[in-house]
Amino acid sequence: MEVIGCLFSRRSLSAFPILPPRSRRCPFQSPSLVPLMMSSSPSSAQEAYKGPRPRRDLVGDWVSNNNGLVRSLPIYVGGLSLLVVLLNRAFSGIALVTDASSSQSRADILTLSLSVTNLLTGLVWLSIRPKYVSPVIPCGVECMRINSDIADLAIHELRWVWESLSSTTCCRSLVVIYGGNCFLQIGIAAESQNETGVAMVVDVHKLLQGSLCRSAIGSGKQSYLANLSLYPGRSELPFLPSNTQSVILQPLGDRGIAIVGGDIIRGFTNLDQAWITLIAEKLDATLSEL
């Protein structure tokens, strides 16, 4: 977050555009973002920015890319140690019977203990593996509702937000509430109980009275429900697909809130959350001018 603070502390934002954390395809760019995307030159941008720069963890990257080898490494080390001890006893002329008075025998016993410990550690590492959480297919209908009473600039901004989030994160549903009105409901939504194939309409008044939204707007901080099924407050979001896995409640200043639904448990990374916070600040600045 220190880096984020540095970005906003500079006089010129043109050198530091709000870009997605990773790109699957080129998102729709809003015309309002054109000034932010322009910079004089890469060298001038690097000279202007004096904050901390991210560093790659080479060891962590190597361990992540060679996970199976790392988990099996204690077994190889323990087995090799056992073999070396046995060969040492066989070819060094020392009696195979353990003699407590011999320093060599005591060293061999210690080595055998450490080797067995390595073998057991390797077996435990191989038996315990992180559970892979796969994304789900949201149960609902396609929805794209944009408030037509707002300016074209705001509509383009909302479309850009959706295209960016849906293409770079696990976002599959997005609802934007501002000033007591629903400005955007897009993505996969729960099906209406009254009409087949029609998305459920967001009850803005009931939503804002719920504990989830009141808590998020009152604190002014992002609320991340990494596993939505564990939270009783999920009943306050009936317009989202019934199998929505994770939700981010992002306040838009003190007048609105953005609800981002994902298709995978703990699918929003720390970088995604920080980026959504930046987008919310920009969206709040645009909508406050309406």
pLDDT in tens, 48-92: 545 455 566 788 788 778 888 888 899 999 999 889 888 887 787
267 Cβ contact partners less than 8 Å away, ≥ 6 residues apart:
135, 169, 170, 245, 246
User: Distance between CA 75 and CA 122 in Å, rounded?
Assistant: 5
The fold adopted by the segment(s) 141-289 is Beta-Lactamase (3.30.450)
Has residue 284 got a pLDDT over 70?
Answer: yes
Q: Are strands 171-178 and 223-225 parallel, antiparallel or unpaired?
A: unpaired
Look at residue 112 in the predicted model and tell me its pLDDT: 86
Look at residue 250 in the predicted model and tell me its pLDDT: 97
User: pTM for this structure?
Assistant: 0.63
Has residue 103 got a pLDDT over 60?
Answer: yes
Has residue 158 got a pLDDT over 90?
Answer: yes
Residue 39's pLDDT band (cuts 50, 70, 90): very low
Look at residue 12 in the predicted model and tell me its pLDDT: 41
In terms of average pLDDT, the best of 21-30, 178-187, 191-200 is 178-187
